[in-house]
């Protein structure tokens, strides 16, 4: 290659974004976001919907920082969507949407900081309903809840249980959809204030007539007040219970253990009736026991086993069915947290304080909902190589990354796509 010619013709490497933004335009998503988040000052050049759609485009084209918006603006110039703000404008918008941290000092002089942005969480659930990914009145939804440590060196970040500085937000999912996000500082454990967090989550879901039939949580949800809240909301719950002397003693009295293959391993399982929290209310606990590696006999049980239990109020499922159902939580909640951390840049928080970063987390959760909607659109239109399980990188490489430009023909703007793959305007599903 000895000769190189250069053309001034404006061709974008992200031509697939035009089809997605066109579908968003025809479903009036921008107007809906503005109705939810409100209007900015009349002198502002960019709206909140411009902010959200720009951050979405940045993520789906594999941008990692809000500074990458400048590169997106340069490479996506004169395309279907061109209202891409600067990183400074993103910060101004997040400052406008933030709410103050709630500071609680315990009797032992431990300070907890919690940030709950009601407007963003309400908008999150409403958008799931608007895009028809959640349906009002439908039964059988499963709510998964988990906390995740977001490591960061921001000035107000506290040391977490992982001995790293960061924040410790709690995120609730229905399937792959984040429906609630509430931020805590790194030193606040997952157990603290969980009942209030879940109460806020259920209230937002109830306002859209979204009923939760099943709730899955880790051992941080093993609290009497949390279980009472779930019973109040008519939920069947499945919670990893914490090991205690009374629990081990109850497990050691079981004489009949059933052998079952779980996660390709042969395990022994059984059900026990157990009274947690020192009360008189009895619950079913599905127990898995495994032989200790050191074969050391436990002083309480008199046996060389470790016991792991799932407390539940579901009496219909068999032991194996219940364990397999609980283990699906790893695919939904835990993988959902990993995806939102990596694909939607929660690992790279841009601002210097917790309340502004909470807004950014909420906006990224909204972008995640838009991404799930995008995949549904692409699958509905039989797009080659795209499935509902795909992550951002695959969708970017297989659909977004294609050279395209607008050309004028017969007084009409026509999108010219340079690809052997077939691209067409997406038919809507709502």
Least confident of 76-90, 289-303, 412-426: 289-303
What contacts 25, CB < 8 A, 6 or more positions away?
A: 80
First to last CA, the chain: 50
Closest Cα partner for 228 from 143, 313, 146? Answer: 313
Q: What angle do CA 400, 405, 407 make, to 5 degrees?
A: 150
CA–CA gap between residue 280 and residue 312 (Å, rounded): 16
Q: How confident is the model at residue 300 (pLDDT cuts 50, 70, 90)?
A: low
Q: What is the pLDDT of residue 2?
A: 79
What are the tens digits of pLDDT across the range 131-174? 999 999 888 899 999 999 999 999 999 999 999 999 999 999 99
pLDDT at 302 over 70: no
pLDDT at 285 over 70: yes
Is the alpha carbon torsion for 321, 194, 162, 347 positive or negative? positive
With beta carbons less than 8 A apart as the criterion, state whether 351 and 96 touch: no
Q: What is the pLDDT of residue 298?
A: 67
Structure tokens at 47: 């709206």
pLDDT at 101 over 80: yes
With beta carbons less than 8 A apart as the criterion, state whether 384 and 399 touch: no
Q: Where are the domains of the chain?
A: 1-96+381-430, 102-234+319-342
pLDDT mean across residues, the chain = 90
DSSP 14: B
Q: What is the pLDDT of residue 64?
A: 92
CA–CA gap between residue 193 and residue 115 (Å, rounded): 12
The whole-number average pLDDT for the span 15-37 is: 95
What are the tens digits of pLDDT across the range 204-255? 999 999 999 999 999 999 999 999 999 999 999 999 987 788 888 888 788 8
Q: What is the pLDDT of residue 299?
A: 63
Q: Is 403 helix (H, G, I), strand (E, B) or coil?
A: strand
CA–CA gap between residue 45 and residue 413 (Å, rounded): 25
Closest Cα partner for 364 from 4, 15, 10, 66? Answer: 66
CA–CA gap between residue 117 and residue 36 (Å, rounded): 13
Closest Cα partner for 289 from 277, 279, 281, 298? Answer: 298
With beta carbons less than 8 A apart as the criterion, state whether 80 and 21 touch: yes
């Amino acid at each position: 290659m000895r000769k190189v010619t250069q053309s001034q013709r404006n061709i974008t490497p992200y031509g697939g974004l035009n089809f997605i933004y066109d579908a968003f335009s025809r479903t009036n998503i921008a107007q809906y976001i503005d109705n939810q988040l409100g209007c900015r000052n009349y002198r502002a050049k960019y709206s909140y919907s411009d902010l959200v759609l720009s951050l979405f485009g940045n993520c789906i084209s594999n941008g990692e920082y809000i500074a990458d918006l400048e590169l997106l603006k340069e490479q996506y110039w004169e395309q279907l969507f061109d209202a891409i703000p600067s990183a400074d404008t993103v910060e101004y918008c997040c400052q406008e949407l933030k709410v103050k941290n709630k500071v609680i000092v315990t009797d032992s002089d431990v300070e907890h900081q919690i940030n709950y942005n009601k407007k963003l969480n309400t908008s999150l659930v409403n958008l799931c309903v608007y895009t028809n990914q959640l349906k009002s009145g439908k039964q059988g939804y499963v709510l998964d809840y988990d906390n995740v440590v977001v490591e960061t060196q921001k000035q107000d970040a506290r040391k977490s249980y992982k001995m790293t500085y960061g924040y410790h937000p709690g995120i609730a999912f229905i399937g792959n959809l984040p429906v609630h996000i509430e931020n805590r500082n790194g030193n606040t454990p997952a157990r603290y204030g969980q009942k209030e967090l879940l109460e806020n989550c259920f209230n937002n879901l109830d306002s859209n007539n979204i009923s939760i039939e099943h709730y899955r949580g880790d051992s941080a949800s093993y609290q009497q007040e949390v279980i009472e809240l779930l019973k109040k909301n008519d939920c069947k719950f499945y919670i990893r219970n914490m090991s205690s002397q009374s629990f081990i003693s109850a497990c050691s009295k079981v004489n009949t253990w059933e052998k079952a293959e779980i996660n390709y391993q042969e395990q022994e399982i059984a059900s026990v009736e157990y009274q947690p929290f020192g009360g008189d209310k009895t619950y079913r606990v599905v127990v898995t026991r495994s032989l200790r590696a050191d074969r050391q006999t436990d002083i309480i049980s008199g046996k060389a086993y470790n016991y792991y239990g799932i407390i539940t109020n579901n009496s219909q499922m068999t032991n194996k069915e219940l364990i397999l159902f609980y283990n699906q939580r790893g695919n939904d909640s835990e993988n959902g947290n990993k995806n939102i951390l990596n694909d939607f840049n929660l690992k790279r928080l841009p601002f210097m304080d917790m309340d502004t970063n909470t807004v950014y987390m909420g906006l990224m959760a909204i972008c995640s909902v838009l991404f799930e909607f995008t995949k549904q659109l692409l699958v509905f239109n039989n797009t080659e190589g795209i499935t509902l399980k795909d992550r951002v990188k695959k969708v970017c490489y297989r659909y977004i990354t294609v050279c395209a430009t607008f050309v004028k023909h017969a007084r009409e703007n026509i999108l010219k796509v340079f690809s052997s793959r077939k691209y067409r305007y997406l038919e809507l599903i709502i």
